[in-house]
Amino acid sequence: EIPVLFKRELQNEEAKEGKQIKLTCELSKLGTPVKWMKGDTVLHASEKYEFKQHGTVAELIIRDVQSIDA
C-alpha cells in the first residue's frame, strides 16, 4: 500500500486573540482520516475546535484564539 504523504503541509498562521483561524493541509490519498494534535495532545471536536475534510484537504478551525493555542 502506498503511504499517505502531505501534498501541502501546515503553514504557520497568525491570528488576533479572540478571533478565529483556519489551518489547512492536503494529503496525497483521498479519504485518509486525520488526527489533529497539539504537541502530544489529540484535539477533539468542541466549541473551540472544528474539523472539516473535503477530498484530500483537511481543515482545523480554532475559535476564540488565545496565546496558549500557539
Host domain of residue 59? 6-69
Q: How many secondary structure helices (H) and strands (E) does the chain include?
A: 0, 6
Q: How many domains is the chain built from?
A: 1
Q: How far apart are CA 26 and CA 34, in angstroms?
A: 10
Cell of 70: 500557539
Within-domain flag for 61: yes
How much is the average pLDDT of 2-16?
88
Domain assignment present for 1 = no
Residue 44 maps to a domain: yes
Average pLDDT of 30-54?
Answer: 94
pLDDT computed for residue 19 by the predictor = 95
CATH code, domain with 63: 2.60.40.10
What pLDDT score was predicted for residue 9? Answer: 86
pTM: 0.86
